[in-house]
Chain A
Amino acid sequence: MDEKELFEAWKGNDKNENQVFEQHQDEFTQLAQKQSNDIFSKIKRNIVWEGVLSIIVGVSFPVYFLSNPIFFWIIIVLMVVALLVGIKVYGNYWRDMKQLDDSSLLVSLEKKLAILTRYIKQLKTYLYLFMPLGFFVGAAFALKQEEIDMTRMIVIIALTLPFLGIMLWLGKKYIHALYGKHLKNIEGIYKGLKEK
């Protein structure tokens, strides 16, 4: 096949095109309800899922501290701050994605990459900040209930630190599963388009 035949073959493809159009033309109004398989739609669904999960944890976690009003209010304040920061992080992502205009493929991918990278970075900061805070407040509460002396308290906290490490590692893996793998995918497409 030479170049001329290549173009001819490409153009001579109308029969199938029309069949597909006729098959789909009455479905237009129903299409918007379908679940999308696009990377960014998947990310959007993950964010919604994560939001729901955060609300469930945020509501159920303080119940554990009900027996001690001081700790209960510390946790409530911590949860409210975490919620506000979370809303800010999610909000920034939505706002930036909505502001994307009809730029070229390269610019569009570049902007989406920047937004997603920033989002993942903020999520990780969020995780590294609030998980240890929650852990130490929880540990202090448990120790206070048992009325353990200071030396034993330090030893117990030191011994449970690896557990915090595992939690942080799991959190990192969770972020990767939800967003990191998609980021790598988009990076691959972007690099493929940009390379000379």
Chain B
Amino acid sequence: MSERNSFKDLIEEYHPMIYKICRVYSTSVDFDDLYQEILISVWKSLPSFQGRSKLSTWLYRVVLNKAMTYQRDQKKYNAKVSIDHIVEMQNEASDYQEKEQQINRLYSAIGQLNKTERSIALLYLDEKTYEEIAEITGLTISNVGVKINRLKKKLFQILKLTNNG
């Protein structure tokens, strides 16, 4: 199998994870930019995968590393954000599915956490064990537990506020 095909297979298999990370670390305006950055990063890092950890652990590290150090192109963002705002308002006005709204609220709540909290929240919501989260992030298991408890409280508080609002 060629390198390109194995890369495509890998992305296909782990696409849901990449998609969620991109959504958490970007807005609808710069989602595509971050998505492409991540794909480039995976493509470039793939030959260096030595199998010392599970493929999913390695991939989480590569993708989160990229997402956390991503900086949006502010000029492009400012130019596009006004149009995006109009589209969002139209979407809200139309008869949006309740489930979709719930997902949007959840992403919006995670988006209010800081960059490192977002990575832990993602791993927690992807139902990774404390051990796996510790392996991906490099934190101790006890520290992972503390961070998850803290961000859970914060997340529910934000969700409560948005529901009331």
Contact = CB atoms under 8 A, between A and B. Distances in A.
Interface residues of B, number: 60
Nearest to A25: B8
A147 interface: no
B141 interface: no
Given A14-B16, A21-B15, A36 B37 contact: yes
B137 A106 contact: yes
A28 B126 CA distance: 26
11 contacts: A1-B106, A6-B125, A7-B125, A17-B19, A20-B19, A21-B11, A37-B72, A102-B58, A106-B139, A109-B65, A193-B119
B35 A29 contact: no
Contacts of B61: 102-105, 108
Which 5 residue pairs of A and B lie closest in terms of their CB atoms, listed nearest first?
Answer: A104-B138, A106-B138, A192-B116, A193-B116, A17-B19
A149 interface: no
B163 interface: yes
A192 B114 contact: yes
Interface in A12-52: 12-14, 16-18, 20-21, 24-25, 27-29, 31-32, 34, 36-40, 42
Contact of A189 (B19, B102, B116, B127): B116
| Binding site secondary structure of chain A | helix
Contact of A17 (B15, B66, B114): B15
A18 B15 CA distance: 8
Contact of A105 (B16, B33, B68, B102): B68
Contacts of A192: 114-117
Contact of A36 (B8, B40, B102, B135): B40
A155 interface: no
Interface size classification for chain A: 35 or more
Interface in B30-55: 33, 35-37, 39-41, 43-45, 48-50, 52-53
Contact of B8 (A14, A28, A38, A194): A28
Given A40-B69, A102-B62, A193-B137, 11 more contacts: A1-B163, A9-B99, A10-B106, A20-B19, A28-B4, A29-B4, A31-B43, A39-B69, A102-B52, A104-B136, A107-B138
Contacts, number: 138
Given A7-B125, A29-B4, A196-B143, A104 B72 contact: no
Nearest to A194: B139
Given A12-B99, A27-B36, A108 B65 contact: yes
B73 A37 contact: yes
A86 B40 CA distance: 30
